[in-house]
Amino acid sequence: MQANRTVEEHKRTVTTTTHLPAPISDRSSPQPGAIQQPIWLSGAHQSVTSRSKRLIDIVGALVGLLITGLIFLPLAAAIWLDSPGPILYSQIRCGLNGKPFRIWKFRSMVVDAEQCKHLVKNEAQGNIFKNSNDPRITRVGNILRRTSVDELPQFWNVLWGEMSLVGTRPPTQDEVENYNTHHMRRLWVKPGITGEWQANGRSHVKDFEDIVEMDLNYQSKWSIRYDIELIVKTITAVLNKSGAC
């Protein structure tokens, strides 16, 4: 009887252990329409919990919003005269840990840009959409993008805590739906107005895997000093018109 019980217990043990979930590295890509949640390995990234970074974000956001307020009226007039419609454009993006939020920009495209997206060729590879001569961009919008002025309203997202001055590129929900496991690591930090991708010439980087590599590199190298270096590098790139798109 004792031997029989031992055999039965061994069978149950074998049956149980043969159905353990596969390791993270062996799991397949997410099913379409389902947004994976990032897999946290050791708690929040230190940039997320840094009070110094948050203080810099708040001060920078207030300065940015002051500049935005000063140029808002003439900029709004130029946008509307060139392409009648809303002055601001908003879109749902995925932020820290995949949490959705509404991002704000000055409108740089025609009003029905999203409906016309399927007519424009995607020149990028992977989970990102880019076209160097996108016909949906208006004349004023082209200037806004070259100077990155279209992103000034994002200082509101920074002040609200949904974004940071420096971080990763905020992805759209449909992009995240197609992420593989290693892509989800991009969401371990807050998205930023600028980051490695923007500072290193975003118009020249068209492979999503390269962007992921840059974002993960930012996470591993992060420090307050490195954030400041990227901000200075971004401003230089904008003034030299070497990285805007």
- Give the tens place of pLDDT for each residue, 77-120: 999 999 999 999 999 999 999 999 999 999 999 999 989 988 99
Is residue 32, in this structure, part of any structural domain at all? no
Q: Residue 130 phi/psi, 5° resolution?
A: -150, 140
Structural domain span for residue 55: 46-239
* Helix, strand and coil percent figures for the chain, each rounded to 5: 55, 10, 35
Q: Report yes or no on whether pTM surpasses 0.85.
A: no
CA dihedral 90, 91, 96, 99 (to 10 degrees): 120
Residue 20 within any structural domain of the chain: no
* Residue 198 banded pLDDT, cuts 50, 70, 90: confident
Only one residue has tokens 């200037």, namely: 143
182 versus 12: the higher-pLDDT residue is 182
Q: What is the per-residue pLDDT for 100?
A: 96
Give domain status of residue 139, yes or no.
yes
Domain count, the chain: 1
- Predicted confidence at residue 17, as pLDDT, reads 37
Q: How many CB atoms lie within 10 A of CB 164?
A: 28
| Nearest to 48, CA basis, from 219, 234, 239, 228 | 219
Nearest-angstrom CA–CA distance, 198 and 201: 6
Confidence band for 199, pLDDT divided at 50, 70 and 90 = confident
Does some domain include residue 17? Answer: no
In a domain, 227, yes or no: yes
pLDDT at 161 over 50: yes
Distance CA 199, CA 242 (A): 10
Q: What average pLDDT does the segment 163-172 reach?
A: 95
Q: Where are the alpha helices (DSSP H) in 44-109?
A: 46-49, 51-82
Please provide the average confidence, as pLDDT, over all residues in the chain.
83
pLDDT for the residue numbered 244: 54
C-alpha span between 5 and 7 (Å, rounded): 5
pLDDT confidence of residue 242: 61
| Residue 201 · residue 242 · CB < 8 Å | yes
> Which segment of 25-29, 185-189, 229-233, 237-241 scores lowest on mean pLDDT?
25-29
Q: What is the pLDDT of residues 3-53, one digit of tens each?
A: 444 444 444 443 333 333 333 333 334 444 444 444 444 468 999 999 999
pLDDT band at 168 (very low <50, low <70, confident <90, very high): very high
- The verdict on residue 133 lying in a domain is yes
pLDDT at 201: 66
Mean pLDDT computed over 200-218: 85
Q: How far apart are CA 60 and CA 66, in angstroms?
A: 10
pLDDT, residue 39, reads 44
Residues 115-141 pLDDT 10s: 998 899 988 888 888 888 899 999 999
Distance of CA 221 to the CA centre of its chain: 18
**Structure-token pair, residue 32:** 């379409």
Residue 38 belongs to some domain of the structure: no
| Alpha carbon 244 to its chain's center | 16
Is 92 part of any domain? yes
pLDDT at 29: 44
Tell me the C-alpha distance between 38 and 216, whole Å: 14
